[in-house]
Structure 1
């Protein structure tokens, strides 16, 4: 038997042995241990830390205008006094996760938005009142605290950056108000950025069934750690279609830590504008594919400029973690918090470079000087603040103005509401007078003028109109 023949025979035998081993792996479970494989131990461990959230608010309903008319009131045999506005209670339900033994709970902001009263039901069926500690609309997260003192079960945070597509996860919450429910699935995708739920577009996608009422509930790994807060679903029917989204735990932790310290959420300010790349831009910049965040403008003296970035650079990683677009960059920086520094990897003219970015809060270069405009002008009813980097970051302003009066609220039934002003508008110019501060707006609004020529920025565009006095 030749040496070549022996070698071929050995290879054939190895292939047969490997095929047999593979075939042996794909067998029906035969042992009791294999048949009884279950997530039950994990669920028992973590379910006490997942709560049902009940939020309620009182809404005043306007009466029919006929009920205020004396003739109609007499016609229907009612007393002469107009009826007081009726009120009704609106209720919403969701889920939450206890993340601190003192009773600190994380849930979604949209679950408790505008609530007058919030209660939670624990897994042992106790119902306890909560206070709202912090609401962060930009992340769609809110922090509650149970009023009754005690030591409560908690869920530990996992490192959500360590998740991989295909990892097994469990979703725990209160879908449709039926009570605590557990569903299982896998991580379907990471870094989803086109969900449209919050300012920080960076979500974990899972096929674990998530339905209305699951919002604010826990997405956990097989070690029983919190990897995300269930937030949204994609659905054409209102029910689960296997596409659910969760806020990563690393961002949830930043918001929870801010609430524990008694402050607001502080996010690093980079001091630059960014743009996503398409195929044409990537080719023009010499990139093999669209990736990263393209620097389009920098604030003079801001952290990005001090770090050495310039317009035309493409940031592709933060502390070694890839950045696919500006949303991913914002998320990576937000999870770092304020203080210290982050290493940016970027491309300039096709060459890779690194920069050290200081993680500092946006400065309030001018006092915000919040004012509510009164009187008889078209601006009466506006609540405005001075624009600054701090206000821009805090309120999520995405326009081009660096100064002016930013509208934060418009009173119902006011002159400003009738004119059509909206929160987010920036008053830029009135009758050719620049509106650089809220004090300037208040002074202009006191004038008696027949016609007002107004320029505002809305949605990144300058809108000009003439308003009667």
Structure 2
């Protein structure tokens, strides 16, 4: 996961610091000496003709590595800036900022002293100020600058330093946490325009050359080069992850800086690295230009980003789920729960539906559906194709506006032994939801689970509430057991459980071969 520690550069570029094993790649003996080339060719490829056919390049000029990136760098560098922010943190928010109250027996003479002068009445520590650094780049002559949200988040003062050393104060126009983008604005002191760089209109391909320019470790303008290593990376940073993976070295302080193609167009905004040490190991991530420019345009116009919303909880379609629903493949997004009053609910979307396409465009999975709906914006009319009861159906709806995030947790307590029912073949113990505080009145709660059992291996855990089994609502453990046994008798290999965890609902396909 990205590291948001702002003491260095407020940057997720220090992030994705996942502990990972050190692997040593042992290369086989495939190197060949310069002499005896014909023999080596025949050994590796069978014969000289086959060798020539396999390695003969069909290159076009734009695929050939440039002799130098200097001309491109000269053009784009004046548009890249160093972003420096001042952050004020309230020391009272620190769990260690106040000394713990001593454990003094009631009635002890010291009790009155600590009640009067102790933790509740101690003066608050003074707010602490810190500095953070990142990168950014001009996208217009009148002073608009793109950077990362995590670079300027919580900042009380933002300044940008340009290539010529001039420093100007910047105003935060808007931020978008979901894509980690922010838009700043500076004013010229002499009414001059600023050098800026354009977004690319072409999606880069894996293997294309890219150039990263930024402010690593606060050193100032630095240029590195590499290639696009992969596309569409999901690194768990947000709901709309669709990163370019690049191997141009980027480090702390590169956050918010641009990645260019060889034409000097911005193909991405650097935002994170994958590294066990915090330094570049050749795996960096950039927000693609096609995502960034739409978000930035919305920030410029509205100061925020309004996204489309249909109001469903969705999950991937696994092979077990596809088999249970009669689907031939695993493409699409399974609806675990439509929210009450949402566009989806009003249009007739139900739990168990699989959304397979939007306006005729096939949906590969939940993340693609979320990105597509969000990018359309509110008040747009869409047609959803769903799979239900063994056939396709089309539902029309008008998109709503994505609401702010909320979190809620269900409070659980242990049920009495009389309420419990064990399903030992699945490694779980069940109890009526009504017997557990905070679980509601519907469904059956998993009150205990064997971590090595079948249920746990499918992702079920203690506190989960089973709402439906095979499309039928359940309120007692005996109903769950009977539904599983019936599915086995009917020859089903798996049965779908609709499960609620906190405020989230999902489907789990549980194999019934061991039911009993």
**TM-score, normalization by structure 1:** 0.62
Residue of 311, 315, 321 corresponding to 2:355? 315
Distance 2:360 2:409 in 1: 31
- Alpha-carbon contact 1:59-1:87 (below 8 Å) kept: yes
* C-alpha contact 1:295 1:312 (8 A) present in aligned 2: yes
The DSSP-based 3-state class of the residue aligned with 1:116 is strand
Separation (CA, whole Å) in 2 of partners of 1:275 and 1:84: 46
**In the alignment, does 2:331 pair up with 1:291?**
yes
The one of 293, 305, 310 aligned to 1:270: 310
| 1:191 and 1:328 in contact (8 A); partners too | no
CA distances 1:155-198 after superposition (whole Å, capped 9, x unpaired): 222357x34333332222111111222222222222222x2223
Q: Does the CA-based 8 Å contact 2:309-2:399 persist in structure 1?
A: yes
Q: Flag the 1:188–1:146 CA change in 2: closer, same or farther, 3 A.
A: same
* Match among 400, 403, 406 for residue 397 of structure 1: 406
Contact 2:91 2:124 in 1 (8 A): no
Aligned residues of 2:308 and 2:375 also touching (Cα < 8 A): no
Cα pair distance change 1:64/1:282, threshold 3 Å = closer
Aligned match for 1:182, one of 214, 220, 223:
223
Distance apart, 1:217 and its partner CA: 0.9
- Distance in 1 (CA, whole Å) between partners of 2:65 and 2:139 is 34
Q: 1:124 to 1:233 in 2, by over 3 A?
A: same
Q: What SS class does the counterpart of residue 52 from structure 1 fall into? A: strand
Question: 1 CA distance for matches of 2:322 and 2:52?
Answer: 49
Partner secondary structure for residue 158 of structure 2: strand
Please state how far the C-alpha of 1:96 moved relative to its aligned partner: 1.0
Using the alignment, how far apart are the partners of 2:170 and 2:363 within structure 1?
38
Q: Tell me the TM-score normalized by structure 2.
A: 0.57
CA contact (8 A) 2:87 2:131 kept: yes
CA distance in 2 between counterparts of 1:130 and 1:206 reads 29
The answer as to whether partners of 1:155 and 1:225 remain within 8 angstroms in 2 is yes
* Aligned residue in 1 for 2:136: 96
| Range that drifts further, 322-331 or 243-252 | 322-331
- The answer to whether the Cα contact below 8 Å between 2:209 and 2:226 also exists between their aligned partners in 1 is yes
CA pair 238-35 structure 1, distance change in 2 beyond 3 A: closer
Matches within 5 A, 1:16-415: 37-59=67-89, 88-148=128-188, 150-159=192-201, 162-193=203-234, 195-299=235-339, 302-305=342-345, 309-318=349-358, 323-342=363-382, 344=384, 346-348=386-388, 358-362=398-402, 393-394=403-404, 396-397=405-406
Q: CA deviation at 1:237?
A: 1.0
Indicate if the aligned counterparts of 1:107 and 1:217 stay in contact, CA closer than 8 A: yes
Q: Greater shift after overlay, 335-344 or 133-142? A: 335-344
Cα deviation for residue 120 of structure 1 reads 0.7
Call closer, same or farther: CA 1:215–1:65 in 2, change over 3 Å: closer
CA contact (8 A) 1:345 1:353 kept: yes
Deviation at 1:325, TM superposition (A): 2.9
User: Alignment partner of 1:100: what SS?
Assistant: coil
Structure 2 unaligned segments of length 5 or more: list them. Answer: 1-46, 100-121, 411-436, 441-499, 504-516
Q: Which residue of 2 aligns with 1:419?
A: none
User: For the Cα contact (< 8 Å) 1:201–1:328, is it kept in 2?
Assistant: no
Alpha-carbon distance in 2 for matches of 1:353, 1:156: 43
Shift of 1:235: 0.6
State how far apart, in whole Å, the 2-side matches of 1:53 and 1:336 are.
32
Deviates more, 1:220-229 or 1:204-213: 220-229
For 1:326 and 1:235, locate their aligned partners in 2 and report how far apart those are by CA, in whole Å.
28
Q: Look up the match of 2:416.
A: none
Q: Please, which of 502, 508, 515 is the counterpart of residue 461 of structure 1?
A: 502
Is the Cα–Cα contact under 8 Å of residues 91 and 97 in structure 2 kept in the other structure? no
**Offset, 1:228:** 1.8
| Structure 1, unpaired ranges of 5+ | 1-14, 28-33, 67-81, 363-392, 402-428, 433-458, 463-469
- The runs of at least 4 consecutive aligned structure 1 residues that moved more than 6 Å come to 15-19, 21-24, 62-66
Deviation at 1:297, TM superposition (A): 2.2
C-alpha displacement at 1:91, in angstroms? Answer: 0.6
Instruction: Quote the RMSD (CA, aligned, Å).
Output: 3.8
Distance 1:170 1:265 in 2: 28
Distance 1:187 1:35 in 2: 13
**Contact residue 89 and residue 127 of structure 2 kept, 8 A:** yes
Distance 1:271 1:192, change over 3 A: same
* Aligned CA distance change for structure 1 residues 328 and 304 (closer, same or farther; 3 Å): same
Aligned to 2:151, the other structure's residue is in SS state helix
Contact 1:202/1:328, CA 8 A, preserved across alignment: no
